[in-house]
Amino acid sequence: MSLERVLSEAEASREEVVKLCGDLIGFDSAHPEGRTDECVAYIEGYMDRHGVETEVHCRDPKKPNIVARIPGEGEAKILWVGHLDVVPIGKREEWSHPPFGGEVTPEGYIYGRGASDMKGACAAAMVAARLLNELGSRNTVEFWFTADEEIGGGDGARWLAESGRFKGDVCIIGDGTGGGLEHPAIDIGCKGSVPTRLIARGKTAHGSTPFLGENAIKRLMEAIPHVERIAEFRLSLPEELEEPIRESIGFIEATIELTEEQREAVERLYHYPTVSCNIIQGGVKRNVVPDYAEATFDIRLTPGSDPQAVKGRIEMLVREASLPGVEVEVRAPEQAGYYESPNTSFARQLAETVELVTGKRPIFKILTGGTDAINIERYAHIPCLGYGLSMVGEAHKPDEKNRIENLTLGVKVYTLFPLRYGG
Instruction: Give 271-299 pLDDT, tens digit per residue.
Output: 999 999 999 999 999 999 999 999 999 99
129 within 8 A of 149, measured Cβ to Cβ = no
Please check whether residue 243 lies inside any domain of the structure.
Answer: no
Res. 423: pLDDT tops 80? no
Average pLDDT, the chain: 97
| Residue 256 within any structural domain of the chain | no
In a domain, 258, yes or no: no
Judge whether residue 38 has pLDDT over 90: yes
Residue at 394 is within a domain:
yes
Q: Which of 330, 347, 367 is the last residue of a domain?
A: 330
Residue 159 has pLDDT above 70, yes or no: yes
Q: In this structure, what CATH number is given to the domain that contains residue 58?
A: 3.40.630.10
Which band of pLDDT confidence, cut at 50, 70 and 90, is reported for residue 347? very high
186 shares its domain with 198: no
DSSP letter, residue 92: G
Query: Do 185 and 214 sit in the same domain of this protein?
Result: no
Single out the residue of 318, 301, 319 nearest to residue 310, CA to CA: 301
Residue 111 and residue 230 in one domain? no
Look at strands 140-146 and 77-83 and give their pairing: parallel
122 close to 411: Cβ distance less than 8 angstroms: no
Domain boundary among 290, 305, 330: 330
Same domain, 218 and 112: no
**pLDDT the model gives residue 74:** 84
DSSP 3-state assignment of 304? coil
Q: Do both 208 and 165 map to the same domain?
A: no
The verdict on 88 and 106 lying in the same domain is: yes
Confidence of residue 104 (pLDDT cuts 50, 70, 90): very high
Same domain, residue pair 276 and 309: yes
The pLDDT tens digits for 53-73 are 999 999 999 999 999 999 998
- Asked if the structure places residue 223 within a domain, the reply is yes
pLDDT above 80 for 154: yes
Residue 251 lies in a domain: no
Distance from C-alpha of 48 to C-alpha of 69, rounded to nearest angstrom: 11
The string of pLDDT tens digits covering residues 219-268 is 999 999 999 999 999 999 999 999 999 999 999 999 999 999 999 999 99
Residues 142 and 25 in one domain: yes
Is 247 among the domain residues? Answer: no
Share of the chain above pLDDT 70, in %: 100
HSE at residue 239, side-chain half, CA atoms within 13 A, is: 0
pLDDT-derived band at 3 (thresholds 50, 70, 90) equals confident
Domains: count for the chain? 2
> What pTM, to 2 d.p., does this model score?
0.92
Q: Are residues 293 and 226 in the same domain?
A: yes
Q: Which pLDDT does position 333 carry in this prediction?
A: 83
Q: Domain containing 17: what range?
A: 3-190+337-420
Asked if residue 1 has pLDDT above 70, the reply is no
d(CA 302, CA 415): 31
User: CATH no. for residue 303?
Assistant: 3.30.70.360
Asked whether residue 260 is assigned to any structural domain, the reply reads no
